[in-house]
Amino acid sequence: MAKTLEDKQYLVRFNCDTESHLIIKDHQVCATQCPGKDCTVFCPADVYRWEGDRMFVGFEGCHECGSCRIGCPNDNIEWHYPKGGHGIVFRMA
Protein backbone atom coordinates (compact mmCIF):
# COMPACT_ATOMS: atom_id res chain seq x y z
CA MET A 1 0.00 0.00 0.00
CA ALA A 2 1.19 3.46 -0.87
CA LYS A 3 2.06 5.25 2.35
CA THR A 4 3.62 8.55 1.36
CA LEU A 5 1.91 11.22 -0.67
CA GLU A 6 4.70 10.91 -3.22
CA ASP A 7 3.92 7.20 -3.68
CA LYS A 8 0.26 8.06 -4.13
CA GLN A 9 0.89 10.77 -6.68
CA TYR A 10 2.78 8.21 -8.78
CA LEU A 11 -0.48 6.26 -9.05
CA VAL A 12 -2.20 9.11 -10.84
CA ARG A 13 -1.77 10.07 -14.46
CA PHE A 14 -1.08 13.74 -15.18
CA ASN A 15 -1.13 15.12 -18.69
CA CYS A 16 0.86 18.21 -17.74
CA ASP A 17 0.57 21.51 -19.48
CA THR A 18 3.76 23.54 -19.97
CA GLU A 19 2.39 26.57 -18.16
CA SER A 20 0.87 26.74 -14.71
CA HIS A 21 -2.89 27.11 -14.20
CA LEU A 22 -2.18 28.29 -10.63
CA ILE A 23 -0.65 31.72 -10.24
CA ILE A 24 0.40 33.46 -7.04
CA LYS A 25 -0.90 36.98 -7.54
CA ASP A 26 1.68 38.63 -5.30
CA HIS A 27 4.59 36.73 -3.76
CA GLN A 28 5.12 39.56 -1.28
CA VAL A 29 1.71 38.81 0.25
CA CYS A 30 2.79 35.21 0.99
CA ALA A 31 6.05 36.49 2.47
CA THR A 32 4.69 39.26 4.65
CA GLN A 33 0.96 38.79 5.27
CA CYS A 34 0.57 35.05 5.67
CA PRO A 35 2.17 33.61 8.81
CA GLY A 36 0.11 30.37 8.60
CA LYS A 37 0.86 29.41 4.96
CA ASP A 38 -2.24 27.22 5.19
CA CYS A 39 -2.07 26.10 1.55
CA THR A 40 1.18 24.27 2.27
CA VAL A 41 -0.75 22.24 4.86
CA PHE A 42 -4.21 21.51 3.46
CA CYS A 43 -3.40 21.07 -0.23
CA PRO A 44 -4.10 17.34 -0.76
CA ALA A 45 -1.29 17.05 -3.32
CA ASP A 46 1.36 19.23 -1.62
CA VAL A 47 1.36 21.54 -4.63
CA TYR A 48 2.48 24.49 -2.50
CA ARG A 49 5.89 24.61 -0.80
CA TRP A 50 7.35 27.58 1.03
CA GLU A 51 10.98 28.01 0.12
CA GLY A 52 12.02 30.59 2.69
CA ASP A 53 11.22 33.65 0.62
CA ARG A 54 8.95 32.43 -2.11
CA MET A 55 5.99 30.13 -2.66
CA PHE A 56 6.86 27.29 -4.98
CA VAL A 57 3.86 25.99 -6.97
CA GLY A 58 4.17 22.42 -8.27
CA PHE A 59 1.10 22.73 -10.49
CA GLU A 60 1.95 19.50 -12.33
CA GLY A 61 0.59 17.38 -9.47
CA CYS A 62 -2.59 19.39 -8.91
CA HIS A 63 -5.89 17.51 -8.46
CA GLU A 64 -7.81 20.64 -9.52
CA CYS A 65 -9.98 20.49 -6.39
CA GLY A 66 -10.08 24.27 -5.84
CA SER A 67 -9.30 24.23 -2.11
CA CYS A 68 -6.36 26.65 -2.44
CA ARG A 69 -8.45 29.26 -4.22
CA ILE A 70 -11.15 29.09 -1.55
CA GLY A 71 -8.85 28.54 1.42
CA CYS A 72 -6.20 31.19 0.74
CA PRO A 73 -6.78 33.76 3.52
CA ASN A 74 -5.53 36.56 1.25
CA ASP A 75 -7.32 35.57 -1.95
CA ASN A 76 -3.86 35.49 -3.48
CA ILE A 77 -4.20 32.58 -5.91
CA GLU A 78 -5.37 33.05 -9.47
CA TRP A 79 -6.95 29.73 -10.31
CA HIS A 80 -7.91 28.40 -13.71
CA TYR A 81 -8.66 24.97 -15.06
CA PRO A 82 -5.75 23.54 -17.04
CA LYS A 83 -6.21 23.71 -20.82
CA GLY A 84 -8.71 21.24 -22.27
CA GLY A 85 -7.48 17.65 -21.98
CA HIS A 86 -4.62 18.63 -19.66
CA GLY A 87 -4.11 18.12 -15.96
CA ILE A 88 -5.18 15.16 -13.88
CA VAL A 89 -6.67 12.06 -15.50
CA PHE A 90 -8.45 9.76 -13.07
CA ARG A 91 -8.85 6.21 -14.30
CA MET A 92 -10.94 4.78 -11.47
CA ALA A 93 -13.23 6.84 -9.32
Partner 1 sequence: MAEKFDMIIVGAGPAGSAAAYTAAKEGLKVLLIERGEFPGAKNVMGGILYRKQLEEIIPEFWQEAPLERPVVEQRFWFLDKESMVTTSYKDKSWAEEPYNSFTVLRAKFDKWFAQKAVQQGALLINETVVTECIVEDGKVIGVRTDRPDGDVYADVVVLADGVNSLLAKNLGFHKEWKPQEVALSVMEVLKLDKKTVNERFNVGENEGVSVEIFGEATKGALGTSFLYTNKDSVNIGVGTTLSGMIERKMKPHDLLEELKAHPMIAPYLEGSESQEYLAHLIPEGGFDAVPKLVGDGVIVVGDAGQFVNAIHQEGSNMAMKSGKLAAETVIKAKELNDFSEAALDSYRTDIYDSFIGKDLKKYRDAAHTFEENPQYFEEYVPMMNQAMNTFFTVDGTPKWEKQKKIAAKVTAGRGKTGLVKDMYKAWKAVK
Question: Per rule CB under 8 A, is residue 8 in the interface with partner 1?
Answer: yes
Question: Per rule CB under 8 A, is residue 12 in the interface with partner 1?
Answer: yes
Q: Which stretch in 25-33, 48-56, 84-92 sits in contact with partner 1 by CB under 8 A?
A: 84-92
Please give the single-letter amino acid code of residue 76: N
Angle CA(70)–CA(74)–CA(79) in degrees, nearest 5?
A: 45
CA distance 73 to 80: 18
Closest CA to 44 of 26, 65, 58, 25: 65
CA distance 60 to 62: 6
Choose between 54 and 83: whose C-beta lies nearer to partner 1.
Answer: 83
Asked whether the beta carbons of 13 and 66 are under 8 A apart, the reply is: no
Question: Per rule CB under 8 A, is residue 90 in the interface with partner 1?
Answer: yes
Positions in 30-69 near partner 1 (CB under 8 A) = 36, 38, 41-42, 44-46, 63-67, 69
Q: Where on the chain is the footprint of partner 1 (CB under 8 A)? A: 1-3, 5, 7-9, 11-12, 15, 36, 38, 41-42, 44-46, 63-67, 69-71, 75, 81-85, 87-93
